[in-house]
């Protein structure tokens, strides 16, 4: 009897694990500066092949489910486009040139991701005077570090940096880095209204902040909404502050492939999502 129960639970565990799914969000955008003729994006793993996109459109977004288990993937992207070249003798005459670029980009999912984003962008790089393709694979995980966060109701903002402010204390052995700037922690805020969460508010973003340090173990720093805060007078509501951060063990992995007429840039990012709910009375 005990053996039967044990076998049942083993089968149930592996059956449940095989049906567990993770959401994958795919986003594609091609700027008007590039004349796209065909875009094909596929996700290959084991003996499976998922078509994410195969079209001539400029913008696309979709979500799908992938197995929530440790899996090695290859993201295959094929991008066909045209460029125009002016005749050196007569600038009024132009000639179309067609190109086809391909990138195979491997990555691994552990299986405990809350969701995954794959972003593909194509644009004209005016600085390099070449077409460019950028691939971002973003993996999101629940916050599993010993971080304390507290809403600082007594701390008021001003015309430059608005409330709300939060104290962030690192009780872990990892160094914590911000999502947009390694030394600053800028999150989003939403509020509950009629049992429904509002959209996330972020505000302005400025990468040109200097000074400060990342959040070292056993240290404290401030976190707020966007680069400049949200609003100084918060109405009485129930709020949710969401902060994405990285650790020193998962800094971005980057790949750069530059050709005569095209530049590929690909990055893998790994973020932890800290969610904190609080009330303004």
Q: Between 133 and 96, where is the model more confident?
A: 133
Model confidence pLDDT, tens digit, residues 211-237: 889 999 999 999 999 999 999 889 999
Q: pLDDT grade, residue 14 (50/70/90)?
A: very low
Q: pLDDT grade, residue 209 (50/70/90)?
A: confident
Domain ranges of the chain: 20-142, 147-249+273-279
pLDDT over 70 for what percent of the chain? 87
What pTM, to 2 d.p., does this model score?
A: 0.82
CA separation, residue 278 to residues 70, 71, 133, 163 (Å):
35, 37, 41, 14
CATH of domain 147-249+273-279: 2.60.40
Nearest Cα to 76, choosing from 103, 53, 99, 100?
103
Pairwise CA distance, residues 124 & 134, whole Å: 11
Pairwise CA distance, residues 41 & 29, whole Å: 12
Pairwise CA distance, residues 277 & 14, whole Å: 35
Is pLDDT at 193 greater than 80 in this prediction?
A: yes
pLDDT of amino acid 12: 44
């Amino acid at each position: 009897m005990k053996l039967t129960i044990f076998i049942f639970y083993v089968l149930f565990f592996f059956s449940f694990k095989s049906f567990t799914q993770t959401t994958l969000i795919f986003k594609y955008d091609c700027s008007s500066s590039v004349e796209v003729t065909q875009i094909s994006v596929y996700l290959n793993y084991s003996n499976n092949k998922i078509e994410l996109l195969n079209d001539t459109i400029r913008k696309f977004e979709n979500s799908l489910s992938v197995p929530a288990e440790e899996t090695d993937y290859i993201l295959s992207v094929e991008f066909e486009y045209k460029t125009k070249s002016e005749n050196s003798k007569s600038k009024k005459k132009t000639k179309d040139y067609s190109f086809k670029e391909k990138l195979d980009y491997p990555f691994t999912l552990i299986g405990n991701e809350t969701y995954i984003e794959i972003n593909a962008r194509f644009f004209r790089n005016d600085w390099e005077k070449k077409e460019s393709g950028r691939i971002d694979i973003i993996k999101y995980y629940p916050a599993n570090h010993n971080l304390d966060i507290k809403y600082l109701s007594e701390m008021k903002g001003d015309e430059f940096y608005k409330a709300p402010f939060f104290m962030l204390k690192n009780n872990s052995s990892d160094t914590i880095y911000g999502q947009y700037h390694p030394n600053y922690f800028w999150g989003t805020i939403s509020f509950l209204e009629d049992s429904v969460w509002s959209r996330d508010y972020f505000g302005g973003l400025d990468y040109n902040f200097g000074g400060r340090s990342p959040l070292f173990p056993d240290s404290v720093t401030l976190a707020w909404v966007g680069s400049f805060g949200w609003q100084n007078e918060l109405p009485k509501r129930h709020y949710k502050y969401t902060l994405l951060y990285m650790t020193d063990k998962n800094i971005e992995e980057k790949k750069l492939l530059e050709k005569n007429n095209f530049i590929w840039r690909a990055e893998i990012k790994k973020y932890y999502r800290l969610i904190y709910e609080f009330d303004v009375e």
